[in-house]
Structure formats: structure tokens, C-alpha cells
Amino acid sequence: MHFRGHTTMSSPLRVGLAGVGTVGASVVTLLERQRAALASRTGRSIEVTAISARERGRERGVEIEGFAWFDDPVALAASPDIDLFVELIGGDEGPARQAVETALGARKPVVTANKALLAKHGMALAALAEKQHVALAFEASVAGGIPIVKTLREGLAGNEIRRVYGILNGTCNYILSRMELEKLSFEQCLSEAQRLGYAEADPTFDIGGFDAAHKLAILSSLAFGTAVDAGAIHVEGIQSISLADLESADELGYRIKLLGVAERSEHGIEQRVHPTMVLKSSAIAQVMGVTNAVTIDADAVEELTLVGPGAGGGATASAVVADIADIARGIRSPPFGLPVASLDHSARLPMQRHEGGYYVRLSVHDRPGALAAIATRMAERLISLESIVQRSKPGKRSPVSAGTTVPVVLITYATTETLIREALAAVVADGYIAERPQVIRIERD
């Protein structure tokens, strides 16, 4: 469903805003700065009339004295004095969920930037919005200022999408970029990211891949018409990535990125977040620092890459205000592109079914027959090796002795996750390697 209602300049859209942190303050500023332009584009004025936040007296960089104040965001959501509710509180339960449910239940459209809430409760909230005939808009929930939700839901409606993948977490991309360019350790780069405010004091949600997984769950639903299923996403973070991996990738013509990938195959839909080797010649490999990027492979447009700021007050506020403007125009689409009853609820493919090339780094005991034995374990499972590189430099290697190890890098042709894991388990059992194998999947065109 896609409706355009009648609007007039005499009917202002009264906005209630819950959460006045960096993004909320930027929304207030942007709406004020673009007041005349938005009124002209939408046919009505848009006014923040009421707000809710945890601390009333906190310095926010914007004047809030002229707005009605609510200590409780749920009470704000229920207020008859607002027409639209904007949720910028965060979190997948508690006040955020209660306030959004209250607003939708009161037949008020909702704009949110809350990917965690949508990843966990998106289907129920979309069904409630559908039942109440109001909009649930969430452009700001994925990739900050990049208009990826609108692109997938509306801009590519005439395409069959095969794959959507991208750099969905700026913290991880910043860390990997600095490690590669400045030859710094993971720990050094994480500490710097925290100092600059790119990473939280507890960075687990970002570096563990969970933030990217929430965003991927939303993108996958929009791309493939499936119910949001964050629990089916295979998630790995970047904690295990070392300088040795980045250097090997560079020598082999690749760059390592934390990617979220959703892909349609003949067996079903894959959803995965993990460090990935991408060709240095690819568009996504050029994206460095805190920037986000999303690439869409589709039948008509073939490949489309959107690049931009994935976080920050201004970028996220841009997406929030775009949603508010759509609602002011009277535009309402099914939140995930299709009515909830039409979304595909079939199970997603387990990671074991993934097929592709692999980078494997091994610390091999330096003794005769070790490499041949490893190659044999691969061959037993019909895994073909594209290359095998012993990374020790001539003249640098110690004489063969107990405890001496040699770094070895294998690149495989396409195989399955199950077979590569079985082969490496056999190599470990044979006693030829000193450390846990490092495995990174390769994403090729």
C-alpha cells in the first residue's frame, strides 16, 4: 500500500521527539533551518512541539524551552497534542519499545533510528502500524545518512535483487583502515577509536559484529521480502584480525573489511556478518575510515554502490527528517516493502551451506612433510588450492628445531564452510600447527 493524503499549509505537522542527544538535537536544528523549504516541499509546516529526555537541564546546543516537556516518553507518545512520534531513545526493550507501541496504538506515525528495536520486534511493530494504517519509518536505522531503505523499498522496485552487502559499522572500518595504513595493532586502533568517540567504552556491540547484524537483518528483509530474522545471522567480529592478515591480503590483491552480506542462492537466503577479503579494485574496498557503504547486485541496475556517513548527528538527522517529510506529504508504504502477511518466513540457510573461497593462515611446525600433509587433508575433501605461500623471508628463518613454526597462507577455490572446517579440524588433530587456524572468507564478484 502506498497512499498520498491531502495536506494543506494550514495543517502543521506537530512532532513529538523522544531522545534529545546528538541526533535529536541535530533533528531540531535541521527542521528549523529547513523550515521554509520543507513547508514548500511537503505542503505543510513541520514543527517540533514536545520533547522527552532523561535530563531536562542538560546542555544540548539547541534551545528547548519553547517545547512542551515530558519526563515519560510513553506519555509523549500518547499525547493528543502531537501528530507524529520520533523515537531516538535506543534499546530493543524498555521505554523505546513501549513508546513506539503506544504511538502506533494511538494511530500516530512513528519515525525511528533504532535498529536494535527493529531487528528484534520489527515484524510485530510493522503489523501494528499496518493494522492502524499509519507509517513506521526507519531510514536512519541503517547506514546513517545513506538513503538505503528508500532505495531498496522504492527505488529498486523493478529489480530482482541477488545480493546486498556492505560496510555497516564505521567503528570496525576505522579500526581496520588504520591497522592497514599505519601498521598498528588492533588494540592500539581500538584505543584511538575510543579516544575519538568512534567506539564506546564497552565496544563489544560494534567490534563483535552485532551492530552490523541488526542492520543487515533490516536490509535482508527489504531486499528479499523476508521476515526480519536477526537470530539467523552468522556473526563474527574483527577481534582476531592481525597485521599479518592485513599484510597477506595486500600482497594477494585484497583488503579486509567487516561486511554484512545477504544473498539469495538456489538453496535459500544467506545472512552473515564477518571479516571478508575483497578485491582492492572493488568499489567497497576503497571505503576507508568511519564511512559506510552498501552495494546492491540486481538484475536491471547490475551493481549499485551507495557510500556516505554511517553515523553522526547531521547524517542521521538527515535520514530522520527525510522520513518526517514523507509522512508530512501523506506518503505511507509498508515498512518492509510488503504487507507483513506477505513476507517470507521460511528458515534462512545455515552458515555451513555457504560456498566460496577462503583465506587460511596457519602457524605450521617446521618439520618435513607438514605442508604435504596439510595439502592432503584439503584434497581429501576435494578442496582445491589456488595458492599456498610460506611467508617466512629468506635468511630470516631459524634453524629447524623444536618449537620453530612457519607462517603459511592458503587461498582456496570455492568450497563449502563445512568442508573447510572439517579439513582444518583434521589438520589440527594431526598436530602440524601450533595455533588455531585463522579463516577469512573471500567475497568475489
213's grid cell: 547484524
Task: Tell me the angle at which helices 313-329 and 35-42 cross, rounded to the nearest 10 degrees.
Answer: 30
Can you list the pairs that 32-40 forms with residues at least 24 positions away whose Cβ atoms lie under 8 Å? 34/321, 38/321, 38/325, 38/328, 39/9
Residue for grid cell 583434521: 426
For 351, phi then psi, to 5°, come to: -60, -30
CA distance 107 to 241: 48
Nearest 10 degrees: CA dihedral of 339, 142, 109, 312? 180
Centre a 10 Å sphere on the Cβ of residue 3 and count the other Cβ atoms it contains. Answer: 10
Spatial contact of 105 and 80, defined as CB atoms under 8 Å apart:
no
63's grid cell: 534551545
Helices (H) and strands (E) in the chain, counts: 14, 17
188's grid cell: 592500539
Cα angle 71, 47, 98 (rounded to 5 degrees) comes to 35
**Which of 215, 280, 393, 396 is an active site residue?**
215
131 is catalytic: no
Catalytic residues: 215
